[in-house]
Amino acid sequence: MQWFAIILILSVGLILLVVELFFIPGTTIVGVFGSVLLIGGIYLTYHLFGKMTGHIVLGSTVLLSTGALLLSLRAKTWKYFTNEQQITGKVNVENLENLSVGTKGISLSALKPYGMAQFGEQTLEVSSENGLINPDTEIVIVNISNNKVSVRKHSKG
């Protein structure tokens, strides 16, 4: 019965270390708990079965833990967990040639500071030059650079 308890403690500890390395890296709580279980299992082995058996269990645990660590550090291991798709979308790839400073439009969404606006038939993302602009507010372009359009509330008069 004692062997079963020790093997169970060591197995759960090793499983928790593997879970920490492969599935939820960075949390450390699972890894620390797994390490505590491994140390506790090794201590119980020394305490209940003596030096020779304790050394064997210690060596086996170190080898298995090191093997799990080395396996997790191999580049091919992480290939299964990474997303290899590339993002190809771009912001404001619209043709901005027909827009110029002074062009008037209307805000379609709240600009805080970024939001959507419409200039004629063209809808695009713009940034407010000075704070919040409510939806359905008349706006005017004050700057266009690097495909970024800056606007401000149009003051009539």
- How many domains would you assign to the chain? 2
Q: Are residues 20 and 60 in the same domain?
A: yes
| SS percent in the chain: helix, strand, coil, step 5 | 45, 20, 35
Q: Residue 19: which H helix or E strand, with range?
A: helix 2-22
Q: Are residues 12 and 66 in the same domain?
A: yes
Per-residue pLDDT of the chain (157 residues; tens, 9 = 90+): 888 999 999 999 999 988 887 778 777 899 899 999 999 999 999 999 999 999 999 999 999 889 888 877 776 666 766 777 777 666 555 677 788 999 999 999 999 989 999 998 888 899 998 889 999 999 999 999 888 899 999 887 5
Count of CB atoms within 10 A of residue 43's CB? 14
**97: which strand partners?**
none
Compute the distance between CA of residue 122 and CA of residue 124 in angstroms, rounded to an integer: 7
Q: What is the pTM of this model?
A: 0.49
The answer to the question of residue 90 being in a domain is no
Q: DSSP string spanning 93-110?
A: -S--TT--TT-EEEESS-
Helix 51-73 and helix 29-49: axis angle, to 10°? 160
Euclidean distance between the first and the last CA atom of the chain, given in angstroms as a whole number: 91
The answer to the question of residue 61 being in a domain is yes
* Domain assignment of residue 30, given as a range: 2-79
The CATH number given to whatever domain includes residue 143 is: 2.40.50.140
The answer to the question of residue 73 being in a domain is yes
Q: Are residues 113 and 47 in the same domain?
A: no
The answer to the question of residue 93 being in a domain is no
The answer to the question of residue 88 being in a domain is no
Identify which of 143, 139, 134 has the alpha carbon closest to the alpha carbon of residue 153.
Answer: 139
Query: Which residues, including other chains, have CB under 8 Å from residue 128's CB and lie 6 or more apart?
Result: 111, 112, 113, 114, 115, 150, 151, 152
Last residue of a domain, one of 46, 79, 112: 79
The answer to the question of residue 95 being in a domain is no
The answer to the question of residue 86 being in a domain is no
